Structure 1
Amino acid sequence: MLGFLTRRVLSAVVLVFVIASVTFGLLQLTGGNPARSIVGQNATAQQEAQKAAELGLDRPLLTQYLDWVAGLLRGDLGTSWFTGQPVSATLADALPVTMSIVLAGLLLSAVVSVLLGVAAAVRGGWLDRVLQVVSVLGFAVPSFLVALVLALFVAVRWGLLPATGYTSLTEDPAGWLRTITLPALALAVGAIAATAQQVRGSMLDVLRRDYVRTLRARGLADRSILFRHALRNAAPPALTVLSLQFIGLIGGAVVVEKVFGLSGIGTAALSTAAQGDQPVVLGIVVVTVVLIAAVNVLMDLAHGWLNPKVRV
């Protein structure tokens, strides 16, 4: 198991390095002039050159890249060109907001998907048909539309939950739960549709296997067969879908944060990309890829625990 974990971690490190390097290169192709944007259009050429030297933009591109990589290896993501604030401080403010709604949405989708998928596979009939319809609707309706409907009815019209804002978990746990509920629901709808279908298909396949009939012939309770044996063998495909859904939820958070007025990673990415604030954009990309790689490693470990053959 240790060798399996080592291989997965090394693969994740290589992935982070490659994507970060490609992002650095792509940002150089945008053709922007950060120094001119910072000093303003009315500044003189001397002031622009002075700002470029201050930011290190007058150095060769390879030198800039190597310096950035060296800082990254030390855990230094750099400093914003426009605000002078460390990138790590910007991320420390924005990351908890995004991860709160993304992880809550992922947890909600995992629990609901398993319940719906298992019920549809076992019961069949009208419940299965309803799941098919709901899954199609979940795929078709974008998350921002779900967010708008939830904000309009649940928050504005009925007043059950706040429509905007974010409360820190350490400041007020109950307030934190109230502020993330609607954004998490908006993100979870599409993920539930995809994952529930996968759970249903995997459960139907497992329930047709010979060992399940053998367990039933031995007199084991249906609940024990479902949750101790069948669900464990049906879980790997669902875990794969969930790991992919995590990436989708981070992407969906960009729009959902705008709808609910949350200052998360998505909002920071949009504003800094529009400015051309390269250190912040690179920091957001690196942290996001690290999170995705970490989730993939955890999913691989879960696969290895459920199916020892995967470790080979």
Structure 2
Amino acid sequence: MISYVSRRLGTSLVLTVLVSMITFFLLSNSFDGVVRSILGTAATSATVQAKKAEMGMDRPVIVQYADWLFHAVRGDFGISYFTGQPVGTAVADHLTVTLSVVVTALLITTAISVVLGVLAASRGGVIDRLAQGASLFGYIVPNLLLAIGLVVVLAVELDWLPATGYTPFTENPGRWAASIVIPVIALTVGGVANLSAQIRGAMIGELRKDYVRTLRTRGLSPGSIVLRHALRNAAGPAFTVLSLEFIGMLGGALIIENVFALPGIGSYSFSAALQGDVPIIMGLSLFGVLFVVGVNLVVDVVNGWLNPKARIQ
């Protein structure tokens, strides 16, 4: 198991370095535009070149990347070109907002999906058709369209919830909850569609296996068979899908946060990209890679622990 984890860590490290290097090299093509954004449109070519030399952008790109990587490994991700705020602090501030929405949506998605998937597989009939209909709705309706519809109905027409904005939990828990309800619903619907379908399929496969028939002949209650045996064995594939949903929800925040004017990672990434704020973009891209790599690593380790064949492969 230690060898398995070590291989996964090594692969993850190489992937992180490669992605950060490619990102930096792509950004290097826009250094002139970034400097002009800082100095203003009236800046002359000589002024631009002088500013690039001052910022170290006149050095070879590989040297600039090596310098950034050296500082990043030590926890120094640089300073924003436009706000002067340390990148680590800026990312942490906006990450709190994003995680408050994504983690809440993920918890609700998991709870609803487990209930729907288990009931659909074990009861069948009308409940199964309703669960499949809910999954189909989640597949068909895009998050953006659903978010706009929820704003129109719940915020504009009924005036139950705020249409935009975010209130920190520490400032007012009630307003915080109200400010994330619509974004959470928009993210949850698609997540439930994917995860509940996966749980349903895995549960149906488990309930048809021989060991389930053996447990029934021994007199175990249906609830015990479903929850203590079939659901536990179906948890592996469902866990993999759940991890993918977590990553997908974080990516969906880029759209959702701009729709609802939430000061999270998604909206911050968008504004940083428009400004060409290279340190912020590099910090956010590094966070994104580490997040995806970390989630995949956890999934690999858990699957390797549950299934020895995965470790061999």
TM-score by length of 1: 0.93
1:139 aligns with: 139
Aligned match of 1:217: 217
State how far apart, in whole Å, the 1-side matches of 2:5 and 2:182 are. 36
Alignment match, 2:284:
284
Name the counterpart of 2:235. Answer: 235
After TM superposition, the structure 1 stretch with the greater mean CA deviation from structure 2, 172-181 or 227-236, is 172-181
Question: Does 1:45 pair with 2:54?
Answer: no
Partner of 2:72: 72
**For residue 246 of structure 1, what is the aligned residue in structure 2?**
246
Tell me, what secondary structure is at the counterpart of 1:165? Answer: coil
SS at match of 2:236: helix
Q: Are 2:187 and 1:187 equivalent residues in the alignment?
A: yes
Tell me if structure 2 keeps the 8 A contact 1:233–1:306. no
Shift of 1:15: 2.3
Deviations 1:93-146 (A, max 9, x none): 211111111111122111111111111111111221222222222111111111
Give the TM-score of the pair, scaled to structure 2: 0.92
CA distance in 2, matches of 1:156, 1:15: 45
**Which range is displaced more, 6-15 or 132-141?**
6-15
3-state DSSP of counterpart to 1:33: helix
1:63 to 2:63 alignment: yes
Q: How much has 1:209 moved relative to structure 2?
A: 0.3
Q: Tell me the distance in 2 between the aligned counterparts of 1:260 and 1:74.
A: 35
Equivalent positions of 1:51-200 (< 5 A) are 51-200=51-200
| RMSD (Å), alpha carbons | 1.9
Identity between Structure 1 and Structure 2 (%): 48
- SS for the counterpart of 1:297 is helix
- How far apart, CA to CA, are the structure 2 residues paired with 1:101 and 1:125? 34
Q: 1:308 to 1:170 in 2, by over 3 A?
A: farther
CA contact (8 A) 2:25 2:61 kept: no
Distance 1:164 1:60 in 2: 44
Number of aligned residues: 312
Comparing 136-145 with 28-37, greater Cα deviation is found at 28-37
- CA–CA separation in structure 1 for the residues paired with 2:181 and 2:4: 37
1:104 and 1:308, CA in 2 relative to 1: closer, same or farther beyond 3 A? farther
CA contact (8 A) 1:232 1:306 kept: no
Aligned to 2:167, the other structure's residue is in SS state coil
Kindly tell me: are residues 32 and 217 of structure 1, through their superposed partners in 2, closer, same or farther at Cα, counting changes over 3 Å? farther
1:272 and 1:280 in contact (8 A); partners too:
yes
Instruction: Give the counterpart letter for 2:96 in structure 1.
Output: P
Q: How does 1:12-51 map to 2 (within 5 A)?
A: 12-30=12-30, 32-51=32-51
What SS class does the counterpart of residue 300 from structure 2 fall into?
A: helix
**Structure 2 gap segments, 5+ residues each:** none
- Aligned equivalents of 2:5 and 2:178: distance in 1? 37
Change (3 A) 1:168 1:311: farther
Change (3 A) 1:227 1:9: farther
Q: Relative to structure 1, is the Cα distance of residues 59 and 75 closer, same or farther in structure 2, using a 3 angstrom cutoff?
A: same
